[in-house]
Amino acid sequence: MAWRWRLISFLLWLPSFWNDWNEPCRRHLLNQDSKEAFSIASKQYRTAFHFQPPQNWINGFPASLILLSTVSYYQQNQIGPMLYNGIYHLFYQYNPYSAKWGNITWGHSISTDLINWTPLDIALRPSEPFDLQGCWSGSATILPGNKPVILYTGISESGHNVQNIALPKNISDPFLLEWVKPPYNPVMVAEGVKPTQFRDPSTCWLGKDGLWRTTVGAEDFEKKAKALLYRSKDFVKWTRAEQPLFSTDSSSMIECIDFFPVSAKWKRGLDGSTIEAEDVKHVLKMGVFDNSHDYYLIGKYLEELDEFIPENVVEDDHRMWLRYDYGSFYASKTFFDAENRRRVLWAWSNESDTISDDIVKGWAGVQTVPRTIWLDENGKQLVQWPVRELESLRMEKVELKDVKVSKGGLIEIKGVKASQADIEVEFEFPELKKAELIYHDWKLDDAQMACDEMCSSVPGSIGPFGLLVLASHDLEEHTAIFFRVFKTSTAHAVLMCSDQRKYVIDHSVVESFGAGGRTCITARVYPKLLLTGDTHIYVFNNGSETVKITKLKAWEMAKARIN
Ligand SMILES: *[C@@H]1O[C@H](CO)[C@@H](O)[C@H](O)[C@H]1NC(C)=O
Ligand SMILES: *[C@@H]1O[C@H](CO)[C@@H](O)[C@H](O)[C@H]1NC(C)=O
Ligand SMILES: *[C@@H]1O[C@H](CO)[C@@H](O)[C@H](O)[C@H]1NC(C)=O
Ligand SMILES: *[C@@H]1O[C@H](CO)[C@@H](O)[C@H](O)[C@H]1NC(C)=O
């Protein structure tokens, strides 16, 4: 399942409240010893519109190189009827042999709408001394003349991370089926950093000086994380810049780096090489190896110095950085969709069941629904929303308007298949002065802790209220997505005047988008009741104040053609 919510005006710090997908609030894990659970595992948890290969493992922790890289490849009228003139290529980290981590290759699928996918042969497999232990994450860049090129991390025969190039064998093949690894590989080897901690070359960008640039995550011998910068004139010979693009003491290793421009003026996306335009800022996204969370910073890219200077960062502490998503979401990557002038974000959402469950299921890992991503008007954070193509899967619709939910209230949303849905809700709260007071300055960790303590069952004032999804009739099993309004002694909930939410539900995945896409959480849940199919969706309120559902729209979602 996946869902989204939109909260009109929302506090920046509130997003962290949604963290509470973690224990102890989440309570519906599969019982690992249950035969019954095993029998549903194979079918019912499989998603209907989240990208997955037909079977086996995608992406990989603990090696945790980026799992996915994407290229939007423009090709006119090459295949039958299509919605757009382009073909989207999705490359993903894939184990062709098993539902567990290992034997990493680059799986390859194509689509014309980012929703329905056709599988192709594996694009990159270990074959050479420079990638014998796996073809790990990387990126694709389109060079002038519409020539795609892949930069990827190979783990060499000797176990070192090196960066390699792969080129399409036949540039006229619209499917880019075959890729060749030129003999001059590897093009980058570790210098001054740990040879086992040096990976995931980013999509390249072109500087004014005509040199291509990429950034590679690394850990030096002082346990300092670096976004190393490399430059090249010909894409063959790469030279490391003396200064990294960015470095931090707050993590040992950063991986899956993504670096891209955004505009404070438009929602539309920018080409990766856009640097000197008014209102352009840059986003540096890093996967923090120590805790497997994706964080990002917004700042200025000083092209002269080839340095990234984050804004609004006072301490070198990754816990203060922003996150795309507070749930199961890692190794994300964006690409610029030139045809639709948008930047699209994907991430790997891994299973939270056990490896033995995964083996029984025969698969592990999904990609999140692709999200359009842009800079908020305030210039301080990013906003995400599922690509509009997802709406093509909407079927039956149920609507509610102006329904009050008082303390202890529970309203069932009937008429849509509760395991596969897209829901938008808008709530109205009572006076904000009734909000609960919080006494100290917030840090994300505090919010996370508070969230862990205050589950949906801990009564409050304005909230907790929200949705119960994948719920059994007796509520014995459910997943709550809830909302709770607080205030601090200074700034706060003043902004919370209306709350609209949207949800998309797809079996074992729940994606939620709060605050109009400023707060996102992807959760993995394995409710046992999917076995009977008797799932329900409810709106609930466990706060003392009555809230009003001003608008609720729920759609049952069709199954997409996924590989
Ligand atoms: C990797 O592939 C080999 C076969 O080529 C297989 O024997 C091994 O079990 C695989 N390992 C995993 C973890 O999939
Ligand atoms: C390259 O691809 C094009 C388009 O699919 C095809 O017509 C051509 O035969 C291919 N060339 C080779 C050498 O395979
Ligand atoms: C994958 O899921 C497991 C179990 O929930 C979790 O401990 C781990 O951190 C996750 N890995 C990543 C990379 O998110
Ligand atoms: C609401 O609170 C009551 C009392 O604590 C609890 O039993 C119930 O489970 C709560 N509802 C939800 C959805 O958590």
By the 8 A CB rule, do 231 and 205 touch? no
Averaged pLDDT, 431-442: 67
Range scoring the smallest mean pLDDT among 59-68, 118-127, 283-292, 500-509: 59-68
Tens of pLDDT, residues 494-533: 222 222 345 576 777 888 887 788 878 888 877 777 767 7
For residue 35, give every residue at least 6 positions away whose Cβ sits within 8 Å of its Cβ, in sequence order, or none: none
For residue 299, pLDDT over 80 is answered with yes
Residue 450: is it exposed, middle or buried by C-beta count within 10 angstroms (0-12/13-18/19+)? Answer: middle
Q: What is the pLDDT of residue 375?
A: 96
Containing 35, the helix (H) or strand (E) segment is: helix 35-41
Closest among 290, 273, 257, 295 to 153, alpha carbons compared: 257
Mean pLDDT score of the chain, rounded to an integer? 80
pLDDT at 558: 94
CA distance 157 to 237: 22
Residue range 422-437: average pLDDT?
79
Question: Which secondary structure element, helix H or strand E, spans residue 360, and what is its range?
Answer: helix 355-361
**Residue 271 burial class via C-beta count within 10 angstroms: exposed 0-12, middle 13-18, buried 19 and up:** middle
Name the token pair of 464: 């907790």
Centre of ligand 2 to C-alpha 134, Å, is 28
The whole-angstrom separation of Cα 393 and Cα 369 is: 12
pLDDT of residue 489: 64
Task: State the Cα–Cα distance between residues 148 and 151, nearest whole angstrom.
Answer: 10
CA-nearest residue, atom 11 of ligand 2: 170
Note the pLDDT of residue 35.
Answer: 44
Evaluate if residue 242 carries a pLDDT over 70: yes
Rounded distance, CA 152 to CA 125, Å?
A: 11
pLDDT score of 258: 94
User: Comparing 13 with 525, which gets the higher pLDDT?
Assistant: 525
> Any idea what DSSP says for residue 389?
G
Amino acid code (one letter) for 295: Y
Please give the helix or strand (H or E) that residue 309 lies within, else none.
Answer: strand 307-310
Confidence check: pLDDT of 15 > 80: no
Residue 74 has pLDDT above 60, yes or no: no
Q: Report how far ligand 4's centroid is from the alpha carbon of 471 (Å).
A: 13
Comparing CA positions, the residue from 123, 170, 131, 181 lying closest to residue 147 is: 170
Looking at per-residue pLDDT, the higher value among 347 and 146 belongs to 347
Ligand 2 within 6 A of CB of 42: no
22 to each of 187, 450, 526, how far by Cα in Å? 41, 12, 14
Task: Please state the atom number of ligand 1 nearest to the C-alpha of residue 103.
Answer: 1
In this structure, what token pair is assigned to residue 88? 């989207």
Q: Highest mean pLDDT: which of 6-20, 42-56, 252-266, 475-489?
A: 252-266
Task: Kindly report the CATH number that applies to the domain delimited by 2-28+394-557.
Answer: 2.60.120.560
For ligand 1, say whether the CB of 26 is within 6 Å of any of its atoms: no
pLDDT range class, residue 310, cuts 50, 70, 90: very high
pLDDT for residue 479 is more than 50: yes
Taking the C-alpha atoms of residue 181 and residue 168, their distance in angstroms, rounded to an integer, is 9
Give the side-chain half-sphere CA count within 13 A for 220.
14
Q: Residue 353: pLDDT above 90? A: no
Which residues, 6+ apart, have CB-to-CB distance to 38 below 8 Å?
A: 357, 360
pLDDT class of 355 with cuts at 50, 70, 90: confident
Residue that has been written with the tokens 């990557």 in this structure: 333
Span 451-469, pLDDT tens digits = 555 667 778 888 888 888 8
CA distance 428 to 6: 12
Percent pLDDT > 90 in the chain is: 43
Question: What pLDDT is stored for residue 458 in this prediction?
Answer: 74
66 pLDDT band, cuts 50/70/90, is: very low
| Residue 331 to residue 63: CA distance in whole angstroms | 11
**125 alpha carbon – ligand 1 mean position (Å):** 13
Q: Which amino acid is at 161?
A: N
Residue 170 Cβ inside 6 Å of ligand 2? The answer reads: yes
Average pLDDT over residues 199-203: 93
Between 157 and 435, residue with greater pLDDT: 157
Cβ 29 under 6 angstroms from ligand 3 = no
Ligand closest to Cα of 100 equals 1
Of 49, 58, 40, the C-alpha closest to 1 is 49
Residue 478 per-residue DSSP state: -
Tokens of 532: 């009977």
The Cα 400–Cα 98 span in angstroms is 45
Please name which ligand lies nearest the alpha carbon of 79: 2
Structure tokens at 190: 């570790």
Q: Report CA(103)–ligand 1 centroid distance (Å).
A: 6
Tell me what pLDDT residue 302 has: 93
Ligand nearest the Cα of residue 78 is: 2
For position 95, what pLDDT does the model report? 93
The top-scoring range by mean pLDDT among 95-99, 120-124, 237-241 is 237-241
As a whole number, mean pLDDT of residues 213-235 equals 97
121: helix, coil or strand? strand
Q: Which residue would you say has higher pLDDT here, 435 or 344?
A: 344
Question: Residue 315 burial by CB count (10 A; 0-12/13-18/19+): exposed, middle or buried?
Answer: exposed
Q: Are 372 and 378 in contact (CB under 8 A)?
A: no
Point out the ligand nearest to the CA of residue 169.
2
Centroid of chain to Cα 475: 29
Which residue out of 28, 406, 457 has the highest number of ligand 4 atoms within 8 Å of its CB and is therefore the one to mutate?
457
Say what the pLDDT of residue 490 is: 57
Q: What is the mean pLDDT of residues 546-550?
A: 91
Residue 441 confidence class, pLDDT cut points 50, 70, 90: low
**Residues 532, 545: contact at Cβ < 8 Å?**
no
pLDDT of residue 448: 54
In this predicted structure, what is the pLDDT of residue 531?
67
DSSP designation for 202: P
Q: Where are the domains of the chain?
A: 2-28+394-557, 55-281+300-312+329-368
Residues pairing with 109 in the sheet: 90, 119
Could you give the 3-state DSSP secondary structure of residue 447? Answer: helix
* CATH superfamily label, 55-281+300-312+329-368: Glycosyl hydrolase domain; family 43 (2.115.10.20)
Q: Give the CA distances from residue 192 to residues 160, 162, 230, 242, 560, in Å, rounded to whole numbers and listed in that order.
A: 13, 13, 14, 11, 47
Other C-beta atoms closer than 10 Å to the C-beta of 438 total 17
Average pLDDT estimate for 477-496? 62
64 by DSSP, 3-state: which? coil
